[in-house]
Amino acid sequence: MSEDIVLVIGARGQLGSVLIKELQKIYGITNVIASDIYLDHNFEGVFELLDATDITSIRTIIKKYSVTQIYHLAAILSAKGEQHPLKTWELNIKMMLNVFEVSINSTVNKVFFPSSIAVYGTKAPLQNSPQSAFLNPATVYGISKAAGENWAQYYFNKYDLDIRSIRYPGVIGYQSMPGGGTTDYAVDIYHSAVKRENYKCFLKADTKLPMVFMEDAIRATIELMQTPKENIKTRTSYNLGSMSLNPSEIYEAIKKQYPSFEIEYQPDFRQVIADNWPKSIDDKEARNDWGWEPKFNLKSMTIVMLEKLEEKYNKIN
Ligand code: AKB
């Protein structure tokens, strides 16, 4: 049986840095190649500096290690993308197409491409948004992900390239920081509470958005990638439902444990982005096709978040 060699592109990002550790447990430390545009001097394992806009560099790494799976996680997210629309489009699309293109006729037999709830816009039902709703994304990030979903399906149909994808909600985790997203507040708020700082929220108190705890997000990603090929019926991207939360609900959950924690709401341009996104999503396809089921809710997630961040900042053991 041939061994899997896994390449993660964007390994220093919010999701990548956590996913790498899980993949190392499954495939072995030498069989997981972490890559990023920024070096990580403290990385434990195999690390390659990689600019994914350069197709030759990706091809060189695939050949060097005989890579069989790629997780392509590098992208500019929703909020940052609005500050540099054309650059975001160019980067997100170029990196993705490079990954798809180098994977055909190579040792690669499976690719993971993350999409996002950002693919939705005002034409989809905001509550329980269905998998196949009409997509009219309002951000360049959302447009690049919606296009990416169609490209993924195209490469599957035309080249039988086994690309799998999840539309991530906001991911909340203690291990890493998000950067440049509209859902970032949901991580930042926990850090502020544990650092005994008050929090200034850039979304309104009642702005509901779909969210998922990091543990569930990582497990979903690996479960999808381990599902037999014939079970994967959605070749664009799977909706992944878990929690539907607003800033006020997260604040109240934290306040139960940190009674002096205060929040102030100062919505900025990210409010408009959030208002275009679903409040909750229908993930029955993921549940039916590969058995997706979230394990964490606001209460259980908050317990873990606060405990782990206390260990990080205040060294309570
Ligand atoms: C963002 O806020 O841009 C991301 C996402 C939901 O894709 N976290």
Inform me whether the pLDDT recorded for 316 exceeds 60: no
User: Cβ-count burial of 88 within 10 angstroms (0-12 exposed, 13-18 middle, 19+ buried)?
Assistant: buried
Instruction: Indicate which CATH number applies to the domain containing 249.
Output: 3.90.25.10
**Which residue's alpha carbon is at the smallest distance from atom 4 of ligand 1?**
181
Asked if 45 and 34 touch (Cβ cutoff 8 Å), the reply is: yes
Q: For 315, left (φ over 0), alpha (ψ -120 to 50), or beta? A: left
Answer yes or no: do 270 and 149 share one domain.
Answer: no
First to last CA, the chain: 43
Number of domains within the chain:
2
DSSP track, 272-313: HHHHHS-SSB--HHHHHHH-------HHHHHHHHHHHHHHHH
Answer yes or no: do 227 and 79 share one domain.
Answer: yes
Q: Is residue 280 part of a domain?
A: yes
Find out whether the beta carbon of 234 lies less than 6 Å from any atom of ligand 1.
no
Q: From the CA of 52, how far away is ligand 1's center (Å)?
A: 20
Asked if 36 and 51 touch (Cβ cutoff 8 Å), the reply is: no
Domain residues for the domain of 246 are 173-209+242-316
Find out whether the beta carbon of 170 lies less than 6 Å from any atom of ligand 1.
yes
Q: From the CA of 266, how far away is ligand 1's center (Å)?
A: 19
Find out whether the beta carbon of 181 lies less than 6 Å from any atom of ligand 1.
yes
Strands 243-245 and 209-213: antiparallel
β-strand partners of 129 = 281
Find out whether the beta carbon of 117 lies less than 6 Å from any atom of ligand 1.
yes
Asked if 274 and 209 touch (Cβ cutoff 8 Å), the reply is: yes
Candidate from 82, 120, 141 with most ligand 1 atoms within 8 A of CB, to mutate: 141
Position in ligand 1 atom list of the atom nearest CA 171: 8
Inform me whether the pLDDT recorded for 276 exceeds 90: yes
Answer yes or no: do 187 and 270 share one domain.
Answer: yes
Answer yes or no: do 150 and 12 share one domain.
Answer: yes
Inform me whether the pLDDT recorded for 311 exceeds 60: yes
Answer yes or no: do 130 and 249 share one domain.
Answer: no
CB under 8 Å to 105, separation ≥6 — which residues? none
Q: What is the pLDDT of residue 1?
A: 43
Average the pLDDT over 152-172 and give the result.
98
Q: For 199, left (φ over 0), alpha (ψ -120 to 50), or beta? A: beta
Candidate from 115, 166, 168 with most ligand 1 atoms within 8 A of CB, to mutate: 168
Listed in sequence order, the DSSP H helices in 160-296 are 185-194, 214-226, 247-257, 270-276, 284-290
Find out whether the beta carbon of 77 lies less than 6 Å from any atom of ligand 1.
yes
Answer yes or no: do 18 and 165 share one domain.
Answer: yes
pLDDT in tens, 202-237: 999 999 999 999 999 999 999 999 999 999 999 999
Position in ligand 1 atom list of the atom nearest CA 178: 8
Asked if 73 and 114 touch (Cβ cutoff 8 Å), the reply is: yes
Q: Is residue 1 part of a domain?
A: no
pTM for the whole thing?
A: 0.97
Answer yes or no: do 218 and 266 share one domain.
Answer: no
Q: Which residues are designated catalytic?
A: 141
* Structure-token pair, residue 43: 């990385």
What sign has the CA pseudo-torsion 204, 301, 276, 144? positive
Answer yes or no: do 163 and 187 share one domain.
Answer: no
Inform me whether the pLDDT recorded for 317 exceeds 70: no
Answer yes or no: do 192 and 300 share one domain.
Answer: yes
Inform me whether the pLDDT recorded for 314 exceeds 70: yes
The Cα 73–Cα 16 span in angstroms is: 7
CB under 8 Å to 145, separation ≥6 — which residues? 75, 92, 115, 116, 118, 119, 137, 167, 237
Q: Is residue 304 part of a domain?
A: yes
Find out whether the beta carbon of 119 lies less than 6 Å from any atom of ligand 1.
no
Average the pLDDT over 127-149 and give the result.
98
